[in-house]
A and B are shown apart, each in its own frame.
Chain A
Amino acid sequence: MGLVTPDYGLLFWMVLSFSIVLFVLGKFAWKPILKSLKDREESIEGALQSAEQAKVEMQLMQADNEKFIVEAKVERDNLIKEAREVKDNIIKEAKVQATVEANKLVETARERIQTEKAMALTEIKNQVTLLSVQIAEKILKRELADAKDQQKYIEEMLKEINMN
């Protein structure tokens, strides 16, 4: 029966053409296609792996960051504390110094006042002495003109001295 008897002409052409196509496809189609597929798979795998690695690194970095933040906070607190201490010290010192300075001023002022007072008193004393002498001069000038009165006055004076 013709259906199940292979025809040698067809067989010949099939072997010839199929061999050629198998060779050509293998060299110019399958080789580059399979190579690109493999390359792409490898690059995808590589990309996934590096992404995973990046994730791990990110986590590490995040942990580091947190550490840094904590450290920075501690540092900041310390700085603030120190600054406060410095401020307090400065204020305290300033106060002390101000007090000392004020006291000194007050002292100086008092001394000056004392000196001024003394000077003023001396002045007053001098003035009083001068005035007394002048008064006495005047009185003496007037009183000595009358002997009686003079007598009387001297007596009064003597009396006073005696009482003392």
Chain B
Amino acid sequence: MSWFSIHKSFTTLLAILIAISFSAGTVLASEPEGGHDPHGSAKFEPGSFIMDHIADSYDWHVATIGDFHLSLPLPIILISKEQGLKIFMSSKFHHGHETHSNFMLMMEGENKGKIVETLSTGEQVLPLDFSITKNVLAIFFSLGLLLWVFISIAKSYQRREGQAPKGMQSFLEPLIIFIRDDVAKASIGEKKYERYVPYLLTIFFFIFLNNLLGLVPILPGGANVTGNIAVTLVLALFTFGITTFSGNGAYWKHIFWPDVPSWLKVPIPLMPVVELIGVFTKPFVLMVRLFANITAGHIIALGFFSLIFIFGSMNIVAGYGISILSIAFTIFMTFLELLVAFIQAYVFTLLSALYFGMAVEEHH
């Protein structure tokens, strides 16, 4: 697996340069085909072009050169009522051109991008889909990378006990201490923060790593993991679950019997209802914030590239002309996204820590 050999000295600057050159390269290469529309309509549609890039997919697209699609096929795992468990590679579909044992990858319509099964009755249904999609593989990759990096630095901590950090250890130690001291200790309090530090560190590095990988458009990056609502939903659910389970008496009292004039609580429990809604809006906002920020960043970058083809379809000179401007803006956006990558990881972690802090706070 070549993408596993990502070197540890892979610098951010290099990542940006590759990001820009490959984004441009991929898009330019697909131009004659008209975006990523496999049916070959010549009209360039920026909407579907952008959506295809930020959505999940059944194979990991690398480049399209002419009619040739260079992509990594991924396993498709389906549970069908008629055929039971079916596992096969996504290359069987030939990018939606072919049907495999009554399964079909829909390229348009209501179920666009989904796998549809045609039953023996001729009826079309959606089978249960647990495929290892591009985002799932990207999650596995990033989690594997996190395991490898942090278990190896844990080992160097044990090996070099009491000594100054070295290599990757010294690179990541400031971040670990930052999360521990300025996020966990500051938000949760001196006494109880220690239980939550492992979770906070894990979500911080998971979000930060995936935000950065999302900026790299080729394998193993390019998947829009933290810009996927399912991923942010899971992260927010973890925070919600931990908050709810660590809530103490003061926390629940604050929700169901807050310190407000009693007419706000009896006979209509106005404030308790508001507080209870707040319990659910907090993780919901966490979910939406991360998803929206990362997706928006991708949409803007892709939008700038779409400009090239919109102008290019009108006039070839205008297309090249606008490309300079587009690439300049995309470089700027990528720098901004690097900042956003850190800020969003930090904000998600900080807010999670604050919610835990509220849950364990003693009554004052």
- Residues of A whose CB lies within 8 Å of any CB of B are 2-15, 17-18, 21-22, 24-26, 28-34, 36-37, 39-40, 43
Q: How far is the CA of A11 from the CA of B233 in the complex (A)?
A: 8
Smallest Cβ-Cβ distance to B206: which chain A residue: A18
Between-chain CB contacts (< 8 Å), 5 pairs: A11-B233, A29-B147, A29-B151, A30-B197, A37-B157
Q: How far is the CA of A5 from the CA of B111 in the complex (A)?
A: 13
Smallest Cβ-Cβ distance to B155: which chain A residue: A32
Q: How far is the CA of A6 from the CA of B287 in the complex (A)?
A: 11
Smallest Cβ-Cβ distance to A24: which chain B residue: B147
Chain A residues in 8 Å Cβ range of B129: 7-9
- Whether B113 contacts A2 by the Cβ 8 Å rule is yes
Q: How far is the CA of A28 from the CA of B151 in the complex (A)?
A: 6
Contact A26 B202, CB 8 Å, known A3-B229, A10-B56, A13-B136: yes
- Whether B201 contacts A10 by the Cβ 8 Å rule is no
Pick from B139, B151, B198: contact of A17, CB below 8 A: B139
Chain A residues in 8 Å Cβ range of B93: none
Q: How far is the CA of A14 from the CA of B231 in the complex (A)?
A: 7
Smallest Cβ-Cβ distance to B112: which chain A residue: A2
Whether B131 is near chain A, meaning CB under 8 Å from some CB there, is yes
Q: How far is the CA of A30 from the CA of B153 in the complex (A)?
A: 10
Smallest Cβ-Cβ distance to B152: which chain A residue: A29
- Residues of B whose CB lies within 8 Å of any CB of A are 51, 54-56, 112-113, 129-133, 135-136, 139-140, 143, 146-147, 150-151, 153-155, 157-158, 161-162, 173, 176-177, 180, 194, 197-199, 201-202, 206, 228-231, 233-235, 237-238, 291, 295
Pick from A5, A6, A21: contact of B202, CB below 8 A: A21
- Whether A37 contacts B139 by the Cβ 8 Å rule is no
Interchain Cβ contacts within 8 Å, total number: 122
Chain A residues in 8 Å Cβ range of B162: 39-40, 43
Q: Is the interface of A mostly helix, strand, loop or mixed?
A: helix
Pick from A5, A18, A29: contact of B153, CB below 8 A: A29
- Whether B146 contacts A18 by the Cβ 8 Å rule is no
Smallest Cβ-Cβ distance to A15: which chain B residue: B234
Smallest Cβ-Cβ distance to B134: which chain A residue: A10
Chain B residues in 8 Å Cβ range of A25: 146-147, 150-151, 198, 201-202
Q: How far is the CA of A33 from the CA of B136 in the complex (A)?
A: 28
Q: How far is the CA of A2 from the CA of B238 in the complex (A)?
A: 23
- Whether B234 contacts A14 by the Cβ 8 Å rule is yes
Of listed A2, A8, A24, A29, residue having the most chain B CB within 10 A: A29
- Whether B131 contacts A9 by the Cβ 8 Å rule is yes
Smallest Cβ-Cβ distance to A6: which chain B residue: B230
- Whether B56 contacts A30 by the Cβ 8 Å rule is no
Shortest Cβ gap from A121 to chain B (Å): 112
Pick from A4, A12, A31: contact of B130, CB below 8 A: A12
Chain A residues in 8 Å Cβ range of B291: 4
